[in-house]
Amino acid sequence: MKASQFLVSTLKEAPQDAEIVSHQLMIRSGMIKKLGAGIYSYMPMGLRVIRKVEAIIRQEMERAGAIELTMPLVQPAELWQETGRFEKMGPELLRIRDRHERDFVIQPTSEEVVTDIARQEIKSYKQLPKNFYQIQTKFRDERRPRFGLMRGREFIMKDAYSFDASPEKARESYATMASAYRRIFDRFGLQYRAVAADSGAIGGDLSEEFQVIAATGEDAIVFCAQSDYAANMEKAQALAPRHARAQATRPLAREATPSQTTCEEVAALLGVPLQQTVKSLIWVHEQSGESGAPAPEFFMVLLRGDHELNEVKLAKVPHFAQGQLRLAHAKEIEGLFGCGPGFLGPVGRPQGMHLLVDRDAALMSDWVCGANEAGFHLSGVNWERDLALPLPEEVYDLRNVVSGDLSPCGQGTLSIERGIEVGHIFYLGTKYSKAMNATFLDVNGKPQAMEMGCYGIGVTRLPAAAIEQNHDDKGMIWPESIAPFVLVICPIGMDRSEEVRVQAHALYEQAVELGWDVMLDDRGERPGVMFADWELIGVPHRLVVSDRSLKSGVAEYQHRRDPQATELPLGEVISFLSGKIQH
Ligand code: ATP
Ligand code: MG
């Protein structure tokens, strides 16, 4: 490609709304152009990266036996009503109407359509397993589209769906995808971690997220440096404390805490460590709003003051298997306790209010909590003496792990780092196939629901994640496998020197011949402008040809990560690059 024919469109400044480096650099380098909130054009420079990401995914998906199709962007609501998702999914699902007033959705994923295809195509166990995938535009009306392609509303996803005859076979399909994903992410040349993720109501351990490590990542990921244990924060297990509950040593006392409503403030006022306090959160469990549904139930959740509630773990408490959970409103709390949420505690709580106690909180002694009276807390609170010991069915792992916790693998302690979720693989079981009656005839001729899995990769999020991980103050630094161009040739003074023109073109032609993704910058720009542009764009390999270098029979080579250029005799340039360029 020659720059004079391409669109090289760089900016010195990033727009105001670009908060993170990948967003800034993608706009500045002309990779993407904003059209609306979370909606971008993929400009020629950006599309080259996206296409390379797609090509790697395609190769590895096919190697793993998945087959490509494309499902419609606009999908009839009827299919989505079969699974109930048309009603259940919130405003993230974009619903539209056609001229006949029929409802449609723009696909946020495609479980319904692919299951519809499977129930028509697959009749017998002999046709299983099958894995269908597409690389397609998705639309999700995200509450907060931001960070450019990182969280767009319109974006590209690779979504694959496996169909199997039994849970065991589905497990095999899942394992095949798990290893295909590792190959894919290895080939992107990024530092990543596959972490265990929560698999929702289905249970089991068949859900993993692929997280690109980056300080700006939205997700907290938990790992043990001494083993291969890794999980996302939602899933990471806090081990039960090993110590026994200490004896009570302090009397129960009522303490004035006139304006102290947080554990931090109360601990500071009373001069006790934060770990000595307990926070009490009120959650409401409701069945669906139909008439005759049981009245809402209130739960008091107790955690050590320095710990944070993990809502995914809370939702897994067996009692909550059905219905919805939400935090109580301030008004409800006032009504029940006669005081605000900053002064609550389990001692003397309203009658019949259930307790849910984190395992750490259950083993505390001499603790501090609210007195259920505005302006007061209790100190020296002890289980057994001041309130009944929590029952086993009241004690759960309910908190987020913290760095330094013992690892569930038993081999070390947990560390926490930030990650960007670029892929997610998931065993679905028969959730969709049962809802949509997607059955096949088994060996005995009996109809069975197909076992499904789904496997996503954020195709347009990936380049953003790659940039978050690989950049410097000059711009992006692409891993070679997904760089928009692998090599750029910058001739200096080509308009003045025939020799420079001839040599630069000769090198360019040889590179093209070798199949490299090469860019010849024939725009006639000054060296400073050329260098700044290609450093911003992050092309890994650069060759400079100038009158001066040609006088000594060399070209100057510099990798985007090299501090300095190296001189290469002209005759050796191509063989040198052949040793460097892998793709
Ligand atoms: P997130 O937690 O980031 O919202 P998700 O759990 O909704 O992700 P999935 O439904 O599992 O995501 O989608 C599969 C992949 O699609 C994700 O791993 C992510 O890489 C990508 N993805 C999801 N939402 C977006 C978005 N709004 N913009 C860009 N990529 C996205
Ligand atoms: Mg989401």
From CA 516, how far away is CA 261, in angstroms rounded?
A: 64
The pLDDT of residue 224? 95
Two structure tokens written together for 350: 């309203």
Q: How many CB atoms lie within 10 A of CB 165?
A: 20
Ligand 2 centroid distance, CA of 489 (Å): 41
Share the mean pLDDT of the chain: 96
| Ligand 1 pocket member 155 (CB < 6 A) | yes
> CA of 384: how far to CAs of 57, 95, 347, 366, 393, in Å?
58, 55, 11, 12, 16
Minimum-distance ligand 1 atom for the alpha carbon of 108: 10
Q: What global pTM score does this model have?
A: 0.92
Q: Give the whole-number percent of the chain exceeding pLDDT 90.
A: 95
Two structure tokens written together for 52: 């390379």
First to last CA, the chain: 16
CB-CB contact of 287 with 323 (8 Å) = yes
Residue 331, H or E segment: helix 330-337
From CA 40, how far away is CA 34, in angstroms rounded?
A: 4
The pLDDT of residue 198? 86
From CA 493, how far away is CA 524, in angstroms rounded?
A: 7
The residue whose CB lies within 8 Å of the most ligand 1 atoms, and thus the one to mutate among 140, 146, 461, 462, is 461
Whether residue 290 is predicted with pLDDT greater than 70 in this model: the reply is no
Q: Which residues pair with 571 in a beta bridge?
A: none
| Ligand 1 pocket member 395 (CB < 6 A) | no
Residue 457, H or E segment: strand 451-458
| Ligand 1 pocket member 151 (CB < 6 A) | yes
Whether residue 205 is predicted with pLDDT greater than 90 in this model: the reply is no
From CA 357, how far away is CA 300, in angstroms rounded?
A: 8
**Overall residue count recorded for the chain in this entry:** 583
Question: Which ligand approaches the C-alpha of residue 209 most closely?
Answer: 1
For 200, which DSSP code?
A: G
In the chain, the amino acid numbered 7 is L
Q: Which residues pair with 490 in a beta bridge?
A: 544
Name the residue at shortest CA distance from atom 8 of ligand 1.
Answer: 421
Among all chains, which residue has been given the structure tokens 């928009």? 484
**pLDDT-based confidence at residue 71 (cuts at 50, 70, 90):** very high
Please work out, in degrees rounded to the nearest 5, the angle formed at the alpha carbon of residue 117 by the alpha carbons of 116 and 123: 100
The DSSP result for 335-374, as a single string, is HHHSS-GGG--STTPPTT-EEEEETTGGG--SEEEE-SST
In the chain, the amino acid numbered 463 is P
**pLDDT-based confidence at residue 204 (cuts at 50, 70, 90):** low
| Ligand 1 pocket member 540 (CB < 6 A) | no
| Ligand 1 pocket member 461 (CB < 6 A) | yes
Phi/psi for 236 (5° steps) reads -55, 130
From CA 285, how far away is CA 293, in angstroms rounded?
A: 12
Whether residue 288 is predicted with pLDDT greater than 80 in this model: the reply is no
In the chain, the amino acid numbered 184 is I
| Ligand 1 pocket member 181 (CB < 6 A) | no
| Ligand 1 pocket member 349 (CB < 6 A) | no
Whether residue 200 is predicted with pLDDT greater than 90 in this model: the reply is no
What would the pLDDT profile of 349-397 be if each residue is shown by its tens digit?
999 999 999 999 999 999 999 999 999 999 999 999 999 999 999 999 9
| Ligand 1 pocket member 401 (CB < 6 A) | no
Phi/psi for 246 (5° steps) reads -75, 160
In the chain, the amino acid numbered 67 is I
Q: Which residues pair with 135 in a beta bridge?
A: 158
The pLDDT of residue 203? 57
Question: Which ligand approaches the C-alpha of residue 151 most closely?
Answer: 1
Please work out, in degrees rounded to the nearest 5, the angle formed at the alpha carbon of residue 503 by the alpha carbons of 498 and 508: 125
Ligand 2 centroid distance, CA of 288 (Å): 24
**pLDDT-based confidence at residue 220 (cuts at 50, 70, 90):** very high
> CA of 140: how far to CAs of 78, 152, 473, in Å?
19, 8, 33
In angstroms and rounded to an integer, the radius of gyration of the C-alpha atoms of the chain is 30
| Ligand 1 pocket member 152 (CB < 6 A) | yes
Whether residue 343 is predicted with pLDDT greater than 90 in this model: the reply is yes
| Ligand 1 pocket member 160 (CB < 6 A) | no
Label residue 417 exposed, middle or buried (CB < 10 Å: 0-12, 13-18, 19+).
middle
Question: Which ligand approaches the C-alpha of residue 138 most closely?
Answer: 1
Name, in order, each residue with C-beta under 8 angstroms of 442's C-beta and a sequence gap of 6 or more.
125, 165, 448
From CA 23, how far away is CA 61, in angstroms rounded?
A: 29
Ligand 1 centroid distance, CA of 458 (Å): 6
Name the residue at shortest CA distance from atom 14 of ligand 1.
Answer: 456
**pLDDT-based confidence at residue 295 (cuts at 50, 70, 90):** confident
The DSSP result for 7-75, as a single string, is -----SS--TT--SHHHHHHHHTTSEEEEETTEEEE-HHHHHHHHHHHHHHHHHHHHTT-EE----SEE
Question: Which ligand approaches the C-alpha of residue 419 most closely?
Answer: 1
Range of weakest confidence among 3-7, 39-43, 292-296, 387-391: 292-296
The pLDDT of residue 49? 98
What would the pLDDT profile of 509-568 be if each residue is shown by its tens digit?
999 999 999 999 999 999 999 999 999 999 999 999 999 999 999 999 999 999 999 999
Q: What is the mean pLDDT of residues 192-196?
A: 96
